Structure 1
Amino acid sequence: MAGTDDLGSLFGRLLGAGEGGAGGLLAALLSTLGDAGQGGGNPLLALIDSLGEGGLGEQTRSWVATGDNQPVTGAQIAQALPYQELDLVARKAGVSPEEAADQLAVAIPQAVDRLTPDGRMPQGSLEDLIQQRL
């Protein structure tokens, strides 16, 4: 996987110019989840699995599916993710865990939706998948 900064830039471009900070947070979160060995090596799957196990299964399924995306709040993201991971990501970004969760609540549904346009989990490297959607 490319460096977190490179992946953050790609996510920033995927999410739109106004979401550059959220792109970095999302890249750091995916890196953290991947380092933990979750998702069988697929950081996007690790994120979906982690959020689903944290009580957001219905929402994550809506982001992958081709219909409307169900929204989530920062509080829901903070509750669904392991605190240690959210805290680490927030510290790397220089924001509070609450601010990180709020930004991720906007970025994650958008990124998952854009990376799964046909309603299924994609195969391949995350960098290549993002480049295909830009």
Structure 2
Amino acid sequence: MTSESAATEVTADSLGNLLMFLAENGYADQVGSWVSDAVENLPITGAQLLSALGRDSLAQAAAEADMTVEAYAEQLAQELPAAADAVTPRGELLDDEEFDEHLQAFQS
């Protein structure tokens, strides 16, 4: 996610938890494509994220970004596949130090 859009700090644990939650709640194909080097990233929509995560779970981050929940979900949907791909170069989340390096490179 770009630095302007990241309303809350992204950590390896928080991104990992989000990816696991999405995978366990109907979006395993999308998440699998984001962490795989073998296939193209499958898209996800803001509406799908809202459905999976719930409005309340995005409300604080949306408020911090000065966005509506719907707009925040759309932006997250646009950026999440590439962000997840950037921090999973070998098909798994990097350790904290490598994660931060890859996330910073993605944000610039």
TM-score, normalisation: structure 2:
0.80
Q: Is the 8 A contact 2:58 2:69 kept in 1?
A: yes
* 1:52 and 2:23 matched: yes
Q: For structure 2, which runs of at least 5 residues remain unmatched after alignment?
A: none
How many aligned positions are there?
Answer: 105
Match of 2:82 among 103, 107, 110: 110
Residues 77-102 of structure 1: CA deviation (Å, up to 9, x unaligned): 11111322211111111111100000
Q: How does 1:29-40 map to 2 (within 5 A)?
A: 30=10
Q: Distance in 1 between matches of 2:71 and 2:17?
A: 22
Larger helix share, 1 or 2: 1
Which of 1 and 2 has higher RCO (CA within 8 Å, sep 6+)? 2
Q: Is the 8 A contact 1:29 1:85 kept in 2?
A: no
Residues 9-61 of structure 1: CA deviation (Å, up to 9, x unaligned): xx42xxxxxxx433x14xx2747xxxxxxxxx712211111222332111011
Residues 102-123 of structure 1: CA deviation (Å, up to 9, x unaligned): 0000110010011112222222
Q: For structure 1, which runs of at least 5 residues remain unmatched after alignment?
A: 1-10, 13-19, 32-40
* 1:63 and 2:34 matched: yes
| Structure-2 residue corresponding to 1:127 | 100
* 1:88 and 2:60 matched: yes
Q: Distance in 2 between matches of 1:79 and 1:71?
A: 15
Q: Is the 8 A contact 2:86 2:102 kept in 1?
A: no
| Structure-1 residue corresponding to 2:50 | 78
